[in-house]
Amino acid sequence: MLAIAERSDIQGWVRLVVEPSGDQIIYSVSDNGGGRLPIDPEVLFNRGFTTKPVGEGTGMGLFIGRATAQHIGGSLDVIQGEHGLIFQLSLPRIDPHASEHF
């Protein structure tokens, strides 16, 4: 798995799409890094899973991100896109006039 920063043959880009969906807002983040899903995409969300060398990451980011999203009624998932992975974060809509949100 190569990160965009490690490649000199392409111009990297990141795309953020925000879409309402019922009582949720879906944030989709993709790039052209060429990432591919492992056989089981759920592996990415395992506590401690990382593709980085020892000492360069804890493997906790996606695990904590998914747990936090689920705690507030949302989700964090990954799908294979045309140019690489797409991460989708779904969060509940919040009424800005409500006195309590959670």
- Where do the domains of the chain lie, and which CATH numbers do they carry? 4-92 (3.30.565.10)
Instruction: Give residue-wise pLDDT tens across range 13-25.
Output: 889 999 999 999 9
Instruction: Give residue-wise pLDDT tens across range 69-99.
Output: 999 999 999 998 888 889 999 999 987 777 6
Which residues partner with 4 through β-bridges? none
Instruction: Give the closest residue to 45 by CA, choosing from 58, 31, 61.
Output: 61
Q: CA-CA distance, 20 to 73, in Å (whole number)?
A: 15
Residue 101 pLDDT class (50, 70, 90 cuts): low
94: left (phi over 0), alpha (psi -120 to 50) or beta: beta
Q: What is the pLDDT of residue 53?
A: 84
Q: What is the pTM of this model?
A: 0.77
Reduced to 3 states (helix: H, G, I; strand: E, B; else coil), residue 91 is: strand
| Strands of the 24-31 sheet, one edge to the other | 14-21, 24-31, 85-92, 75-80
Which residues partner with 87 through β-bridges? 29, 78
Q: CA-CA distance, 73 to 101, in Å (whole number)?
A: 11
